[in-house]
């Protein structure tokens, strides 16, 4: 392969030098009426932007997070994680990038890797490429990003373009599917980029600033439909791999074709990145119906970029966008998806001089597009926010519980997603609160129920084996996260039955004779149907003893609800077992000291 083409950052870097300058800024929108449910989700920062490119520097990451906070995006999927191949010394680009972002902004980004095509012409390329995928998976890459280099820029040593459906890449796509890593694949570009290169082209403002984006010379480039057909052959050949065909499968000009593809290929998804200006030109009712029809296959993404300048979908020559312009860029996404407003300016004027009209999607569809589909897609990789244990100065007196006032100071997390598939079960959303004192860790679970499934007769005085085969809440806590193989398990059922276990995964040991000394209590109400489980765990139950203020342990929390066939997790494991330490998330012991107020806990 020609070595002038092998670095992704050379391609994206060239983009940032020019695209960082923006013509026709997407300034704040005129007032509109958003969907109130969607507004609430943004206030809770539940939106996931599946298509971002953020440069991995402290300043650029900080600017991205600042804008995400303003617009209600909780998690950004940074497709620019880089290569996992290492230089002669030191960590890989991906390792360095992920470590920086996770340290500075834990829980805010998910990172994709890219394939290093060096050595394409060597006979062992496919084997080494699969090894890259496997390494990326081990390092925490959520998926694989493939840029439009295939079919348009990458060439072998003979100067021939590397085709998207080259059989040499089949082992890569196959291994991604086996590892549960989705592939965000960019193939071809807008239809106008194959139209004549002159001022009659409706995207001339964009192309005249980016002549390298024009592919209309048949002596140099394949026809656009040939590229899309080659991509579809790859999707069809690998039904076990999920392909997110970015930019609305790069065919927003022909939504009937995209409709047909989504019907034909069940493993094809599409994102909206930088294509709402084109989608918004179609009949609004037709687009509404299409999005409702394929509501499980469409994901929110913007192509939001932060480098030395912001890039809001695209760019050209002119002054760079401001943070306020970025807010307006997102607001117009909301407006198009949530309202029936007519003929308003779209979010990226350089992409074309026309207006768009909203498609008024209902909340149930918006929920899937904004975050639910992404949570399902990325169940293995989505980072949860830490659970903060609130510090208390004194323990309640024997027979008393934690007061409501004190409980309100403990910020809850929610168990809402299936442990294996990541699908939300909002009707069973269960909160978990944590508090800690010099003597104990307190955990309080609270969730709705329809019907309780328990052992009968109940005997809360003795430990119940196989308690997890009935309704239960569970806490898995590792006080020494570096070990990752040994931790403590605590379970409590609605009828008061309990079990505690010392787990040693390395030796497949589940010590039922171990006694933590934890105290439990359960309350059940009929109206509303809610059950509350409380645990008081002494520090002697943990190998490391009492933590210091600011300490970070790791944990996961689960709930089994057999009447509804729901097996919820705070952080989904993505596998068929709760015993999956890579899915454990931070349990942070806050340092603020507070006084306890009486409130009943007993076993």
Same domain, 408 and 357: no
Look at residue 1 and tell me if it is in a domain. no
Find out whether 541 and 486 touch, Cβ atoms under 8 Å. no
Look at residue 596 and tell me if it is in a domain. no
Find out whether 486 and 514 touch, Cβ atoms under 8 Å. no
Same domain, 47 and 20: yes
Domain span including residue 458: 387-589
The reported pLDDT for the residue numbered 316 is: 56
Same domain, 241 and 310: yes
Same domain, 197 and 86: yes
Look at residue 305 and tell me if it is in a domain. yes
Look at residue 600 and tell me if it is in a domain. no
Look at residue 594 and tell me if it is in a domain. no
The reported pLDDT for the residue numbered 483 is: 67
Q: Please list the rounded mean pLDDT of every run of 10 residues in the chain (603 residues).
A: 36 33 42 92 91 97 96 96 90 96 90 97 97 95 96 94 97 97 96 90 87 90 96 99 98 98 99 96 98 99 92 68 92 97 87 91 98 91 83 85 83 90 89 96 98 95 93 96 84 97 87 92 96 97 94 95 96 89 89 43 34
Residue count (the chain): 603
The reported pLDDT for the residue numbered 314 is: 64
Query: Using CA atoms, how far apart are residues 417 and 382, in angstroms rounded to an integer?
Result: 11
Measured CA to CA in angstroms, residue 290 lies from 8, 25, 256, 373 at distances of 34, 29, 9, 16
Look at residue 111 and tell me if it is in a domain. yes
- The total of structural domains in the chain comes to 2
Same domain, 404 and 373: no
Cβ count near 402 (within 10 Å): 24
Same domain, 315 and 432: no
The reported pLDDT for the residue numbered 139 is: 93
Q: Pick the last residue of a domain from 377, 408, 442.
A: 377
Same domain, 174 and 225: yes
Query: Using CA atoms, how far apart are residues 57 and 54, in angstroms rounded to an integer?
Result: 9
Same domain, 252 and 356: yes
Q: Which residues pair with 414 in a beta bridge?
A: 431
Measured CA to CA in angstroms, residue 438 lies from 6, 96, 472 at distances of 57, 38, 28
Same domain, 409 and 448: yes
Look up the CATH number of the domain holding residue 481: 2.60.40.1190
Same domain, 372 and 391: no
Same domain, 477 and 532: yes
Give the global pTM: 0.73
Before 528, cis peptide (omega within 30)?
yes
The reported pLDDT for the residue numbered 294 is: 99
The reported pLDDT for the residue numbered 256 is: 98
Look at residue 597 and tell me if it is in a domain. no
Same domain, 221 and 297: yes
């Amino acid at each position: 392969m020609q070595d002038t083409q092998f670095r992704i950052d050379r391609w994206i870097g060239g983009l940032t030098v020019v695209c960082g300058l923006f013509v026709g800024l997407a300034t704040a929108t005129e007032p509109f009426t958003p969907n109130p449910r969607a507004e609430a989700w943004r206030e809770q920062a539940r939106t996931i932007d599946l298509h971002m490119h953020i440069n991995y520097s402290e300043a650029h990451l900080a600017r991205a997070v600042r804008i995400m906070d303003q617009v209600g995006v909780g998690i950004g999927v940074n497709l620019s994680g880089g290569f996992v191949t290492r230089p002669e010394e030191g960590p890989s680009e991906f390792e360095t990038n992920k470590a920086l972002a996770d340290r500075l902004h834990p829980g805010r980004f998910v990172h994709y890797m890219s394939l290093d095509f060096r050595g394409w012409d060597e006979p062992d390329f496919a084997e080494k490429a699969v090894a890259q995928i496997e390494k990326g998976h081990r390092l925490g890459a959520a998926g694989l990003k493939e840029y439009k280099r295939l079919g348009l820029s990458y060439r072998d040593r003979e100067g021939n373009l590397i085709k998207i459906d080259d059989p040499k890449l089949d082992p890569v796509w196959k291994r991604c599917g086996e590892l549960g890593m989705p592939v965000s694949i960019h193939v071809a570009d807008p239809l106008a980029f194959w139209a004549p290169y002159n001022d009659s082209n409706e995207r001339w403002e964009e192309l005249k600033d980016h002549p390298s984006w024009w592919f209309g010379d048949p002596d140099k480039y394949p026809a656009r439909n040939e590229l899309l057909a080659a991509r579809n052959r790859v999707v069809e050949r690998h039904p076990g791999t999920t392909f997110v065909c970015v930019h609305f499968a790069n065919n927003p000009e022909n939504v009937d074709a995209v409709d047909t593809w989504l019907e034909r290929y069940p493993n094809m998804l599409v994102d909206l990145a930088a294509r709402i200006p084109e989608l918004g030109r179609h009949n609004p009712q037709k687009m509404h119906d299409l999005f409702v029809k394929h509501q499980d296959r469409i994901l929110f993404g913007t192509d939001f970029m932060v480098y030395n300048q912001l890039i809001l979908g695209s760019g050209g020559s002119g002054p760079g966008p401001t943070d306020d312009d970025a807010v307006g860029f997102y607001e117009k996404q909301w407006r198009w998806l949530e309202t029936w407003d007519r003929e308003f300016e779209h979010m990226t004027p350089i992409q074309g001089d026309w207006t768009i009209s909203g498609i008024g999607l209902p909340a149930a569809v918006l929920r899937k597009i904004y975050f639910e589909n992404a949570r399902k897609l990325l169940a293995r990789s989505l980072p949860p926010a830490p659970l903060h244990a609130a510090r208390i100065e004194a323990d309640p007196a024997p027979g008393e519980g934690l007061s409501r006032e004190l409980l309100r100071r403990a910020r809850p997390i929610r168990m809402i997603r299936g442990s294996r598939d990541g699908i939300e079960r909002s009707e069973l959303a269960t909160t978990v609160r944590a508090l800690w004192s010099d003597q104990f860790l307190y955990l309080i679970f609270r969730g709705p129920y329809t019907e309780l499934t328990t052992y009968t007769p109940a005997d809360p005085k003795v430990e119940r084996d196989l308690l997890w085969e009935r309704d239960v809440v569970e806490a898995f806590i590792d006080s020494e996260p570096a070990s990752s193989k040994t931790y403590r398990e605590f379970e409590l059922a609605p009828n008061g039955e309990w079990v505690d276990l010392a787990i040693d995964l390395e030796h497949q040991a589940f010590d039922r004779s171990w006694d933590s000394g934890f105290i439990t209590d359960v309350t059940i109400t009929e109206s509303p149907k809610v059950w509350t489980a409380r645990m008081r765990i002494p520090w002697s139950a943990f190998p490391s003893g009492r933590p210091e203020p600011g300490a970070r342990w790791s944990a996961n929390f689960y709930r089994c609800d057999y009447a509804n066939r729901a097996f919820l997790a705070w952080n989904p494991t993505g596998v068929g077992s709760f015993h999956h330490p890579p899915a454990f998330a931070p349990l942070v012991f806050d340092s603020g000291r507070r006084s306890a107020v009486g409130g009943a806990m007993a076993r």
